[in-house]
Structure 1
Amino acid sequence: MNVPVIAPNDTLPTLIDRATAALASARTSGEVLEARDMARMAYDAAKSAARIMKAKEAHDSLIADVHRAQAHALAIRARAEMRLAEEYDIAQEGGEVARPGNPNFSEGEKLPSARDVGLQPKDLHEARVMRDAERAEPGVIQRTINRIVERGEEPTRAALKREIAAKPQPKPMNPKALWLWGRLKDFEREGVLDHAALFLLNEMTAPMREDVRRLAPRVREFLQEVEAEA
């Protein structure tokens, strides 16, 4: 993997654009790692610029501009690390990389660890936390970064981790509740409600109609209970 190099004339927008483009075009884990490193460099450059501006008592609007650039770099880095965590977990499931609690050997050869593929265990853990938060509430990472900036605070990685960790986790969805909601929505999506029941019954085979006669009374009773409780 090539190590990104900052040219003397690289500006914050240039660094961020490069990281954004690199992540968007990344197809391999190595390319995602490179995009992450570009985002890290943009983030560090913005953080350093903000520190210098504060020391020089620069105008608040200038500091806010740098914070927005820092937020952008932080978001790119977070997306890259969440993607790496997902790819690493898939590789673990496939036995391609080491996993905790196993001998870490495959056909006599030692499996690569997180460090071997460019990931620190601590960073991998934090990326999994962010990924799980994003899965539970899509868009939460970007919204959290935006809130930090809107409060006039520096969008640091530590602040992002702190707010994500402190956020109450949503109650896991019962798969049967999700299934029921989906099937009821299917009546609408599939246009079932637009047809007469007799027409649909006539389209069924005799064994299918027998199942309908057996189950319909129980389903009707259940749906009446759903309607009363909803």
Structure 2
Amino acid sequence: MNAPAILPANMAELPEVIERARCLFDQGDVQQALKLSSIAYDEAKAAARTGERVKASRAMIEKARRMQADALKIETICTIAMADAVDEAQAKGALLRGRPDKEKVQDADHFSLNDVGIDKRRLHEARQLRDAARADPGFVERIVETRIAEGLEPSRAALKKAAGHAIGTKTASDEERGLDLYETPVEAMHTLLALESFGLAVLEPSVGKGAILRPLEAAGYEVAIADFEDRGITTQYGEVQAVGDFLASVRAGDGFDIVTNPPYGIANAYIAHALREHQPRKMAMLLNLNFLAGFEDPDRCFAMDECPPSRIYVFTRRLPMMHRDGREGNKASSQMNTAWFIWERNEDGSYGGGFPQMIRVDWAKFQQAEPLAPGAGGCISPLVFAEPEEDFSRKTPRKTLDERVSEELARALIFAAEREEGFDTVTLRRGIGVRDSVAVALIEDMAAGELIARLDDAQWRITDKGLTALAATAAVLAGRKISHIVELEGE
């Protein structure tokens, strides 16, 4: 049978071709609809890839991918329909195998795979797609639209792969997904806690069954917990989880950082609500790495453009698969690239302050690492240096807190003198580049010596005694510099 007469001579004709394929399918002409949609798919795919190669406008590439997606949907439902027809014929004994005899060839009730334009390999793929779509009626639509939303090509290969991993997070139906409970791997928590420190009080608003809660408690944090569903989870102190929709929650005080793995289906709105309403001093979200992309959803744009994260820890080795809670049967391997996104609030209430720092980490290297002390805040570099050779065993000794305070006192006084409006621990820490524990100790030391005094409950200012001490320190430093110059000249 010849292909339909209308062929896509250029991009402008593709929408008409796709619409005709859809009409042919509705009229029951599955073979012709399949042929025409396949032609449209190939043309749109070629146009999109050519556009990328010649650096065409984003609008042109997205238009081509949209037509590729529409053609793929029609091609897929045609393929599924043909798989059904073949199976039905096989059940009735009407499917010809091998070389048919003359009587059956003349019998219109019998046909072969060649007659419907499908071979055994494509039939197997068609059955896989059919089975995935039966288990989840929205499977094809969701996979294709998810690819488009994430700026990825809506390809046959991606759809085939998704069908083969139909138990993964993107292929589960809304009913199966339930409340989006995919427990966080402990490997992710070991890595986070080895690299980031949070305030002592942490909120886990999607506690699930405690996969994030328990590692936080083991590291010494005091955790408040909540979830949409009451699973009877309690903290180590017996405090029962709150129950409610996080998107309807309101801010309660200013004492909580947030650490959670948000529900995939509402991640955009979830994160934007956390930043707008709760305004945490620090927040860690375990997300699909594709959260970096996307431009249409206003909540994602708010979280990534207006209130960008400070650091993003990209897992170079995929985390163990986060299977849906209650899932029975075979377990799929991980198909998702993930990362910890870290937001930190600035002194003026904003977030970010430049391009987020992208840090590649391998979770396997942090499974025996000690967590950072809770309450201090801050982070450390994930760089790991090789042990020195056995003939070079000297190690740099760690300085005590008192030694650090003594070294940084002059810089702290200079910073305080320049801050007419006052300062607190956070601004001091950032202003002179020290750890939170050092900043706290500096303030305590200066306050004990009456070098600074309180402006209010949180702010400090330098005193006259502090200015005098600063002047004396400057004179001493200047004298040392002069003595050093004299020594050099004497040499």
- 1:48 pairs, out of 25, 34, 46, with 46
> 1:72 corresponds to which letter in structure 2?
D
* Contact 1:39/1:73, CA 8 A, preserved across alignment: yes
Relative to 1, partners in 2 of residues 1:158 and 1:8: Cα closer, same or farther, differing over 3 Å?
Answer: closer
Provide the residue aligned with 1:188 in structure 2. Answer: none
Query: Following TM superposition, by how much is the alpha carbon of 1:107 offset from its aligned partner in structure 2, in angstroms?
Result: 9.8
Matches within 5 A, 1:1-230: 1-5=1-5, 6=7, 8=9, 11-26=13-28, 31-98=29-96, 109=104, 112-168=111-167
CA distance in 2, matches of 1:35, 1:2: 12
SS at match of 2:87: helix
> 1:19 corresponds to which letter in structure 2?
A
Query: Following TM superposition, by how much is the alpha carbon of 1:105 offset from its aligned partner in structure 2, in angstroms?
Result: 6.4
Question: Which range is displaced more, 4-13 or 15-24?
Answer: 4-13
> 1:63 corresponds to which letter in structure 2?
I
Relative to 1, partners in 2 of residues 1:7 and 1:50: Cα closer, same or farther, differing over 3 Å?
Answer: closer
CA distance in 2, matches of 1:39, 1:105: 30
* Contact 1:85/1:127, CA 8 A, preserved across alignment: yes
> 2:65 corresponds to which letter in structure 1?
H
CA distance in 2, matches of 1:41, 1:130: 20
> 1:163 corresponds to which letter in structure 2?
A
CA distance in 2, matches of 1:104, 1:66: 43
Relative to 1, partners in 2 of residues 1:97 and 1:61: Cα closer, same or farther, differing over 3 Å?
Answer: same
> 1:124 corresponds to which letter in structure 2?
L
Query: Following TM superposition, by how much is the alpha carbon of 1:166 offset from its aligned partner in structure 2, in angstroms?
Result: 1.5
* Higher-strand-fraction structure: 2
Q: Percent identity?
A: 36
TM-score (norm: length of structure 1): 0.64
* Contact 1:36/1:77, CA 8 A, preserved across alignment: yes
* Contact 1:13/1:69, CA 8 A, preserved across alignment: yes
* Contact 1:35/1:80, CA 8 A, preserved across alignment: yes
* Contact 2:95/2:111, CA 8 A, preserved across alignment: yes
Root mean square deviation, CA, Å: 2.4
> 2:18 corresponds to which letter in structure 1?
I
Pairs aligned (count): 163
Relative to 1, partners in 2 of residues 1:107 and 1:115: Cα closer, same or farther, differing over 3 Å?
Answer: closer
Relative to 1, partners in 2 of residues 1:22 and 1:108: Cα closer, same or farther, differing over 3 Å?
Answer: closer
Summarize deviations over 1:5-33 as a string: whole Å, max 9, x none.
Answer: 3164661111111111111111xxxx211
* Contact 2:8/2:17, CA 8 A, preserved across alignment: no
> 1:24 corresponds to which letter in structure 2?
D
> 1:74 corresponds to which letter in structure 2?
L
Summarize deviations over 1:187-209 as a string: whole Å, max 9, x none.
Answer: xxxxxxxxxxxxxxxxxxxxxxx
Relative to 1, partners in 2 of residues 1:152 and 1:8: Cα closer, same or farther, differing over 3 Å?
Answer: closer
Query: Following TM superposition, by how much is the alpha carbon of 1:109 offset from its aligned partner in structure 2, in angstroms?
Result: 4.2
* Higher-helix-fraction structure: 1
> 1:159 corresponds to which letter in structure 2?
A
* Contact 2:30/2:82, CA 8 A, preserved across alignment: yes
* Contact 1:115/1:121, CA 8 A, preserved across alignment: no
SS at match of 1:11: helix
> 1:20 corresponds to which letter in structure 2?
R
Provide the residue aligned with 1:179 in structure 2. Answer: none
Relative to 1, partners in 2 of residues 1:152 and 1:105: Cα closer, same or farther, differing over 3 Å?
Answer: same
Query: Following TM superposition, by how much is the alpha carbon of 1:61 offset from its aligned partner in structure 2, in angstroms?
Result: 2.3
Query: Following TM superposition, by how much is the alpha carbon of 1:167 offset from its aligned partner in structure 2, in angstroms?
Result: 2.1
